[in-house]
Structure 1
Amino acid sequence: MAPSALAKPQMRGLLARRLRVHIVGAFAVALSAAALYKFAVAEPRKKAYADFYRNYDSMKDFEEMRRAGIFQSTK
């Protein structure tokens, strides 16, 4: 009985095939990270700013800071 020979590994095109797989995976990870940031951070932040400025009175805030003595040039 002859010993069975090991199959030769495929070397031609190996890098291109592995890069194709890894580029698709990297694109999927980047896309999911961007979507997660948008919906978990950016949208709630925009909503919080909109809620704050919806009924913000800058003159009232200025008068409170003036009475508290924050500004030195106004009395």
Structure 2
Amino acid sequence: MASSALVKPQVCGLLAGRLRFHIVGAFTVSLSVAAFYKFAVAEPRKKAYADFYRNDDSVNDFEEMRKAGIFQSTKCFWDVKNVIGLVPCS
């Protein structure tokens, strides 16, 4: 009578059941991490770069650095406004 109350252990299909459970769990976790990264990191970074380059004036920055004397390793400074012809400054 005691042996009829015990449940037989599952032997057939045990590995397939555990694999199915863990594959679904891993897929769910990876999708949630990817969505979190996209909305918490990638989108704000993309917006920050767009805002920076929308208001950036690299020619003006170069002229300010040239006037400040940052470029000391070169003998002659090139005219930024005529980059195609590369006319040296006088």
Amino-acid identity (%): 74
Matched, 1:16 2:16: yes
- TM-score normalised to structure 2 length: 0.73
Report how many aligned residue pairs link the two structures. Answer: 73
* Residue of structure 1 in register with 2:54 after alignment: 54
RMSD: 1.4
Larger Rg: 2
- TM-score normalised to structure 1 length: 0.86
Comparing 53-62 and 5-14, the one that deviates more: 5-14
1 or 2 for the larger relative contact order (CA 8 Å, sep ≥6)? 2
Structure 2 residue runs of 5 or longer lacking an equivalent are 78-90
Q: How far apart are residue 7 of structure 1 and its match?
A: 2.4
Distance 1:10 1:70 in 2: 76
* Residue of structure 2 in register with 1:63 after alignment: 63
